[in-house]
Amino acid sequence: MGETSEYSRFVMSRGCSLKSLGLSEMALPYADAQQAVKLAIGCHLSILGGDVYYRTGKVIEPAYANWHVDRKDGESDNMYSRRSGEESECYLSALPKPVGKEYLIVIVTV
């Protein structure tokens, strides 16, 4: 539980609320999202996927981009955790650099 709470503390301390959009999630700036994925891998958390938002000043809007990582038949918890982290890292690294905006990323873990 200690490692999981370390991940949760990281997200809570670095994230920003999406309540203005009617959502209960916390979104992370791009660099923090990359760090959160590494932390999730280290904590053996599986990443189900995530959603991408844009922030311009104080305005947050959907980027209409997301990813998901489905568990494969017979895949162990450990294998799924590692693979979901690796696929999430690949997705984030492939995002094009936004012009005049910054990314906010919601990561959904189990």
Q: Looking at the whole model, is its pTM more than 0.95?
A: no
- Dist. CA 33–CA 92, nearest whole Å: 8
Question: pLDDT for 38-92, tens place per residue?
Answer: 999 999 999 999 999 999 999 999 999 999 999 999 999 999 999 999 999 999 9
Ramachandran region, residue 5 (left: φ > 0; alpha: ψ -120 to 50; beta: rest): alpha
Query: What fold is seen in the domain 2-109?
Result: Ribulose 1,5 Bisphosphate Carboxylase/Oxygenase (3.30.190)
> Would you list the domain boundaries of the chain?
2-109
Task: Report the percentage of the chain scoring pLDDT > 90.
Answer: 95
Hey, what are 7's tokens?
């991940």
Residue 69 C-alpha from the chain's centroid: 12
Q: b/e for 83-92, b at 16 or more Cβ within 10 A? A: bbbebbeebb
